[in-house]
Structure 1
Amino acid sequence: MDTLQRNVHNSEIPVVCRACEARHGGLCGVLVPEQLAELNRHSARKKIDQGTELLGQGEQVPYYANILRGVVKLSKMMSDGRQQIVGLQFAPDFLGRPFIAESSMSAEAATDLEICSFPRRVIDRMVSSVPGMERKLHSQSLKELDEARDWMLTLGRKSAQEKVASFLYLIATHIDPEKTDKSCFDLPLSRADIADFLGLTIETVSRQMTKLRKDNIIQIENNRHITVPDMAALNFAAGND
């Protein structure tokens, strides 16, 4: 594509979409300018405070969303009130399941969040008419399935230190996809939530974080800011090849 063609192509894309990373890496990446313009007419960019519930388990789903910045915590609650964190979502993940009117889990902003939301009816209609969108959602579902299987291995077979190191490596490599340097990040979860996510006690999480710090695998500031001097060393501590 020459310069003139690129300029004409870009001029057809809604201004708000041109600099959006989710357009390239997320669901919108499969849409042509006309489809982006149609979706943009119904979209709304929102900033959401940490701790805000986006969807409640068992509630009707009014909208879907692209995650533009921040981390979403997915949880499931049992009938007796016990709750388990079952997943995390990062930019540019798609929040929601097309054609499913009721949410099977709750979604909460684990950090301050920015999303681009769309009415459910609009996405359901577009998925039916845009094959690339259906393939993209299918691809994300398979990716999440693979990640869930990897996490089952982490929870079922890894030691406490490997679990904590695996969590830190996950956050380092996913929390900010636009950032080239993955070695510095803030933890998106409290120690209690990390313990819940890993199936450990808060005390065990704290001990393992301290051990990783003493082994010079991580550095900790203000209890939440993590620096990883050597990502390969963290990956090795996580029990990965």
Structure 2
Amino acid sequence: MTDIALASPHCAHHGTGSYCETCKVRSLAVCAALDEGELSELDAIVHHVDIAGKSTFIHQGDEAESVFSVTEGVVRLYKLLSDGRRQIIGFAMPGDFLGLALQNRYGFSADAVDNVVLCRFDRRDFDRLVSAKPHFLKRLHEFATHELVIAQEQMTLIGRRSAEERVAAFLVAMRERWTRIRGPSVTIQLPMQRIDMADYLGLTIETVSRTLTKLARDRVILIVPDAVRILDEARLLGIARA
């Protein structure tokens, strides 16, 4: 079972309007396909969930009873390998959708990097809603396709590339994702630990730390708490796209 504590189905966040209508990432999320009237149907089946940092809410292999839309915070996605090792396969951010599962089982685990807020839907209720709305199903297919693209990008990222190229490409990708959510900024938020970055990039934590230090020494970035600030965008892009 997932380790989550549910808020009430009609969350206190609602105020005078529905949570779905006032959601800051609605335009990015799967629910963007719904009109105002349809949002009320979605709002009727949603539970709003606060997840404390480092808490697990999806366990690989468990029955996929729920699906989730991330509205705040960053989620670490990983697989547990047969030899007990962990492989991070990605990071979910506000607007991302989690829980699309084949064979009714979760194919990965997920935990909160920092404090996370989720919209949780019972999968049966969600499936009934989706089946009645073909345009909503199309939106889900778009999200599933996006997940495949991200998986392919990770394979490319950890292919025949140097450590510096991998780290730079990761920073550029994270900046693009944050820009989509919050707008342009020279600061790239990195709430995950260095070991998480290393695991995702197929590097050691020492290599990631040395590479970030080198980029800082070369005045490409400035390392700040839980983030880096871009000092030379052209050089960072050049390294990432080498």
Structural RMSD (CA) = 1.9
2:239 corresponds in structure 1 to 237
Q: Report the 3-state secondary structure (helix = DSSP H, G, I; strand = E; otherwise coil) of the residue aligned with 2:210.
A: helix
Cα distance in 2 for residues equivalent to 1:176 and 1:59 = 34
Q: 4+ residue stretches of structure 1 with deviation over 6 A?
A: none
1:14-36 CA distance string (max 9 Å, x none) = 53222213322211111122321
1:114 corresponds in structure 2 to 117
1:44 to 42, 47, 70: 47
- Residue 235 of structure 2 aligns with an amino acid whose one-letter code is A
Structure 1: gaps (5+ residues)? 1-12
Cα distance in 2 for residues equivalent to 1:60 and 1:28 = 24
- Is 1:28 aligned with 2:40? no
Q: Report the 3-state secondary structure (helix = DSSP H, G, I; strand = E; otherwise coil) of the residue aligned with 2:87.
A: strand
Q: What are the within-5 Å matches in structure 2 for residues 123-134 of structure 1? A: 123-134=126-137
1:73 corresponds in structure 2 to 76
Structure 2: gaps (5+ residues)? 1-15
Post-superposition offset of 1:185: 3.3
Q: How many residues align?
A: 227
1:142 corresponds in structure 2 to 145
1:162 corresponds in structure 2 to 165
Q: What are the within-5 Å matches in structure 2 for residues 86-97 of structure 1? A: 86-97=89-100
2:183 corresponds in structure 1 to 180
Q: Would you say the 8 A contact 1:69–1:115 is kept in 2?
A: yes
| Structure 1 residues 115 and 193: CA distance shift in structure 2, 3 A | same
Q: Would you say the 8 A contact 2:52–2:116 is kept in 1?
A: yes
1:171 corresponds in structure 2 to 174
Q: Would you say the 8 A contact 2:29–2:96 is kept in 1?
A: yes
Post-superposition offset of 1:98: 5.6
Post-superposition offset of 1:188: 2.2
- Residue 171 of structure 2 aligns with an amino acid whose one-letter code is L
| Structure 1 residues 56 and 98: CA distance shift in structure 2, 3 A | closer
Counting aligned pairs with the same residue, the percent is 35
1:53 corresponds in structure 2 to 56
1:115-138 CA distance string (max 9 Å, x none) = 111111111112211111111111
| Structure 1 residues 125 and 99: CA distance shift in structure 2, 3 A | farther
Q: Report the 3-state secondary structure (helix = DSSP H, G, I; strand = E; otherwise coil) of the residue aligned with 2:32.
A: helix
- Residue 231 of structure 1 aligns with an amino acid whose one-letter code is E
1:20-78 CA distance string (max 9 Å, x none) = 13322211111122321111111122221111101001111221111112211111112
Deviates more, 1:143-152 or 1:175-184: 175-184
Cα distance in 1 for residues equivalent to 2:117 and 2:233 = 27
- Residue 188 of structure 1 aligns with an amino acid whose one-letter code is P
Deviates more, 1:145-154 or 1:201-210: 145-154
